[in-house]
Amino acid sequence: MNWDAIGAVGEVFGALAVVVTLLILILQLRQNTKEVRASTIQSLHEKSIEVFGESMNSEIPVLLAKAQSGEELTLAERQRYIMFLRRNLQLFELVLMQYRQGRLSEEVMDAYNQRMRSHLDFVYWEEIWPTVKPMMTLTFQQHMDNIR
């Protein structure tokens, strides 16, 4: 037996084992990435549904209808609307952070951008945004300014 030949065969098998191991790791990473994205989307949708449900069962729809019809909101109603808006913007800020970290697809981000744009049409947006804006991250502030 030639020990050099046996050593060469061993090196080839060792190299093949490394390549196979790397391929398996790549497949596992891809699967893990898909699962993280799916989990992130599910979590954000559940939170969105929760926020929507809470708003639906509160006086927020009445306040929105009142504001959109041109009626003046009382100071207390205006504060409640500001808190509603801040809560939604904080959720949208979380969505943007998840997107920037690669956990959300472009399609999901586009859908949330549409939801964010709907807030821009509300009465009082121009008045409220400058007071709420400094409470948000700079990245989110710029994003909101850009989608307008």
Domain segments of the chain: what residues? 42-147
pTM of the model: 0.68
Categorize the per-residue pLDDT at 143 as very low, low, confident or very high, splitting at 50, 70 and 90.
very high
* Residue positions counted in the chain: 148
Categorize the per-residue pLDDT at 1 as very low, low, confident or very high, splitting at 50, 70 and 90.
low
- Helices (H), ranges, 72-137: 75-100, 106-120, 125-132
CB atoms within 10 A of CB 105: 12
Contacts of 148 (CB under 8 A, 6+ apart): 117, 120
Q: Which residue has the tokens 């191991």?
A: 21
Q: What's the CA gap between 90 and 58, in Å, rounded?
A: 19
